[in-house]
Chains A and B, each alone.
Chain A
Amino acid sequence: MTGMPAIRLADVRKNFGATEIIRGVSLDVAGGERHAIIGPNGAGKTTLFNLISGRFPITAGSIELRGQRIDALPPQRINRLGLSRSFQITSIFPRLTVFENLRCALLWSRGYRYSFWHLLPRARALNEATEALLRDLNLAERHDLPAGLLSYAEQRALEIGMTVAGGASVILLDEPTAGMSHSETEYAVALIRRVTEGKTLLMVEHDMRVVFDLADTITVLVYGRVIASGPPSAIRADRAVQEAYLGAMAA
């Protein structure tokens, strides 16, 4: 892991029509670190996630995952190379049960692909792995509940679980604590800390307590450009950041 960054963005640019949303972002995320991206609304944080995870093609530049170019690959290929993401808008499958949701996240990594002829109830190893993960997420009691009926905090926990389930070593979380109460946020932070142990975490987050609590490195994105990147103490002291972002929050 040492030496080569887990994710490397080099002068990444993205235009939507004539509008340049990402204007030359270069960023290294070291293997094993917890890295937060902050910035005001419209800075392009979620767009950056969509570029890294292959949802949108980039306009220029390059994106590498552990030294391998991924910027021309479709989302599923990037996932199979070991990068998994969550979405800002909760994207669990509301009609499937909690158990089925998690199992869906495990299917590919456990080698169950598009076979029609094997029946899932008989895939014992897969089902046991799913059960274990359910207990790990404290969702075992919700086993057969359609995921759409979970409480909001539980849905977010499930989504975090689905994101890490496939065993990816690089995890991207898009505002995992958005819309949560104080105690829910604390629980979510503890969960994120636990399930991303030993993995590389890149997260977009608005809650500054969460950011300064969780992140080893913080990158500040403003209008599609990185204006600062470094350890929390340096970011807190950075004048440009205070002016562009934190100052506005404090006021």
Chain B
Amino acid sequence: MEVLLVSLLNGLVYGMLLFMLASGLTLIFSMMGVLNFAHGSIYMLGAYFAYESTRWIGFWSALLIAPLLCGAIGAAIEIWGLRRVHHNGHIAELLFTFGLVFIIGRSVQMAWGMLPMPYRVPASLDFPLFTLYGLQFPAYRGFMLLISAGMLGGIWLLLKRTRVGMIIQAALTHPGMTAALGHNVPLVFTIVFAGGCFLAGLAGVIGGNYQSTEPGIADAMGPIVFVVVVFGGLGSLAGCFIASIIMGMVVTFSVVIDASIADLLRPIGIVPRSDDLLGEILTVPVARIGALLPLLMMVLILFFRPRGLLGTRDT
């Protein structure tokens, strides 16, 4: 019971963190048709920027400085990079963002090295929020929930209630018509790309000291965020949100489940032999294949529902 509740909470924290990344990626993807491979790299930059500004100024200002830096980098990438590459088609854009992954990755390694940075949770948030069945829930995770919930509300308000949100929604489906109505669509693209990078940076700030701040986190987060976007469906923020939470739960729960498929089969009388390949696969505990599950889910949804949960277009 206590494992269930704590895992639920942890899954929610992780899911919301995923949503901060995936929401920006899905907006960029569905509006500009650009699959930004470098989104995980921006997340990593956010974590490193947050570490540096925490060292020099303090955590609370890092909460603003790091995302702003990431947003500025995003705007620069869009204006001076993607716009030029755009004329050469989607493959060129894809390769461009793929190249960015390596450039950002190497730069980070050159600046900070391969080892994890001691980017820690601020002392003012380093206490147990409450105790559940003898297990402590850290206040910092509550703080992460607060930030990501605030971001969710902010994004919703922006898209549904403000003028620029209205224009973004319009440009999601018909950029040509939106331009014909007098709106500067290239500027909207820049705003969305920079906004997505801002959110990825913010996720880096609160995720960097939750997970770790090392060069490997870009590669760790990149694929799973991509899975969330495909799973949720293109062009749908609601689908993206649901997919993020599901994925957060799946990853969190798979770590604590010690059972295997063979355990499920045993009550109905099937006992796989343990000395052949099939038997070995069936007796692997779920906890050991946890990292594989999200990718498996992506393959399944592409088979049975290529539009994703709530998507409007085929991926």
Residues of chain A touching chain B, judged by Cβ–Cβ distance below 8 Å, are 53, 55, 74-76, 79-80, 84-85, 87, 91-96, 100, 103-105, 107-109, 112-121, 123, 162, 166
Contact = CB atoms under 8 A, between A and B. Distances in A.
B163 A118 contact: yes
A114 B164 contact: yes
Contact of B162 (A108, A118, A166): A118
Contact of A84 (B162, B164, B180, B191): B180
Contacts of A85: 180
A55 B177 CA distance: 10
22 contacts: A75-B179, A75-B185, A76-B184, A79-B179, A80-B182, A84-B180, A87-B177, A91-B174, A93-B169, A100-B166, A100-B169, A104-B166, A107-B181, A108-B181, A114-B163, A114-B191, A115-B162, A115-B164, A116-B164, A118-B162, A119-B157, A120-B161
Q: Give the most central of B173, B174, B181, B183: most A CB within 10 Å.
A: B181
A119 B166 contact: no
A76 B185 contact: yes
Given A76-B185, A95-B173, A96-B169, A53 B180 contact: yes
Nearest to A50: B176
- 3 interchain residue pairs of minimum CB distance: A108-B182, A91-B177, A75-B179
B187 interface: yes
A113 B187 CA distance: 12
Interface residues of B, number: 27
Contacts of B287: none
A195 to B, nearest CB: 16
B167 interface: yes
Nearest to B157: A119
Contacts of A121: 161
A95 B235 CA distance: 10
Given A91-B176, A104-B166, A107-B167, A116 B181 contact: no
A84 B184 CA distance: 14
A94 B173 contact: yes
Secondary structure at the B interface, as helix, strand, loop or mixed, is: helix
Given A91-B176, A93-B173, A105 B162 contact: no
Nearest to B187: A114
B264 interface: no
Contacts of A74: 179, 184, 186
B170 interface: yes
A84 B163 contact: no
Interface string B173-208: 110111111111111000100000000000000000
A214 to B, nearest CB: 22
A111 to B, nearest CB: 10
Contacts of A115: 162-164
Q: Give the most central of A76, A108, A116, A162: most B CB within 10 Å.
A: A76
Given A100-B166, A105-B181, A107-B183, A93 B161 contact: no
B135 interface: no
Contacts of A166: 181-182
A232 to B, nearest CB: 28
B158 interface: yes
Nearest to A94: B173
Given A118-B162, A119-B161, A76 B170 contact: no
Contacts of B182: 76, 79-80, 84, 107-109, 166
A242 B181 CA distance: 37
Contacts of B166: 96, 100, 103-104, 107, 120
A115 to B, nearest CB: 6
Given A94-B173, A95-B169, A79 B180 contact: yes
A119 B162 contact: yes
B239 to A, nearest CB: 13
A53 B162 CA distance: 27
